[in-house]
Structure 1
């Protein structure tokens, strides 16, 4: 499903996420104060804009309220990052994701209501973009460049099926290490355990295998 994203801050990370989301055919608005950075992304975004993400009036006129997700990837200016996040939360944006510079910055962003805070490396843009656009992935943890743990939603496709029926280890090379059902967490799932839509599966595996499982297995 096509989504609308705005990215504020077009450094290495912001540019990387922008390019990947655009490649995935989503609508992307790329915003930065630096016109040179904006010009570099004209062919990698649906719309571009030279603007200050901390200017509430400008952001309102840009229609930022219409976007499903806004990613704040402002560089080293922590004050600007915090102010921009506050403005976006006041606009009732559905999901505001923010790049943190350090642990203190992270704590402040959480306190002011950022929906997701991350400490990205320059090469993480592709993985963040994939996570943002998935309807099923709730959270993930990178274990290495190749392996991750993912929390993903069970859909109608697996309703009433047991883990043995799914047999995802044989089919996809992944392993379900836990199942969350309402207020219960089962960390020793059995092959005969049956799934319902809305259950959360905690799955470990190679990133390529996890992507395939999310697309084909759920």
Structure 2
């Protein structure tokens, strides 16, 4: 079983609420933050803790203890300005593991430029998956295959300067690295070279069984 985490979700609209509900069902503690009282009422019986607060106010985020959480997801609706301001507040508070829902390609590029390690573009991701399934019957993504196979993005820190050959992940953890993204860039490259050294801030994508992938906790 995966480690239980405390995860913050800023913005409890359709995506944020659905994500929070799914994480709760997986056994994690979820702290929701939103300014809309209707969103608060809907989420208060589902999430562990819910706070009505303005995420563009750094002091408000500090008061709800957002910096104490393991991870924080920003899903602030259609306002690119509010999303970016929220991210800057989280960074100022020392939050490192930040996921942000992007609303456009421009938004995505800005988020990477200001140092957000994980950017989610749900509409583009779903469209990509569906297009491939429609165009090539029989191809499925790794999620939901019924074989306990997952992919995981990891942000390079202690592994900076090391190569895939040095890390020896296949033999040590029984996982494979299928893609990587250089720090500050939006696009992934696939099948990294065994002798290519990773840099701090790079992101690699691992694939393997859930139990094997989750054993890796220092990277």
Give me the TM-score of the superposition, normalised by structure 1.
0.64
Cα deviations across residues 106-131 of structure 1 (Å, max 9, x unaligned)?
A: 1111111112011014997xxxxxxx
Checking the alignment, whether the CA contact within 8 Å between 1:152 and 1:200 is kept in structure 2 is: no
Match of 2:211 in 1: 215
Checking the alignment, whether the CA contact within 8 Å between 2:175 and 2:212 is kept in structure 1 is: no
Match of 1:150 in 2: 151
Match of 2:22 in 1: 20
Alignment match of 2:172 (pick from 196, 210, 213)? 196
Give me the TM-score of the superposition, normalised by structure 2.
0.63
- The structure with the greater share of residues assigned to strand is 1
**Aligned equivalents of 1:151, 1:23: Cα separation in 2:** 20
Checking the alignment, whether the CA contact within 8 Å between 1:151 and 1:201 is kept in structure 2 is: no
Rg comparison, structure with higher value: 1
The alignment of Structure 1 onto Structure 2 pairs a total of residues equal to: 161
Cα deviations across residues 62-114 of structure 1 (Å, max 9, x unaligned)?
A: 11110110000011011000000011111121300001111111111111111
**Aligned equivalents of 2:6, 2:68: Cα separation in 1:** 8
Instruction: Classify the secondary structure of the residue corresponding to 2:172.
Output: coil
Match of 2:119 in 1: 117
| RMSD between aligned residues | 3.3
Cα deviations across residues 44-64 of structure 1 (Å, max 9, x unaligned)?
A: 100001111111111111111
Checking the alignment, whether the CA contact within 8 Å between 1:89 and 1:113 is kept in structure 2 is: no
Checking the alignment, whether the CA contact within 8 Å between 1:10 and 1:73 is kept in structure 2 is: yes
Cα deviations across residues 144-179 of structure 1 (Å, max 9, x unaligned)?
A: 5941383589xxxxxxxxxxxxxxxxxxxxxxxxxx
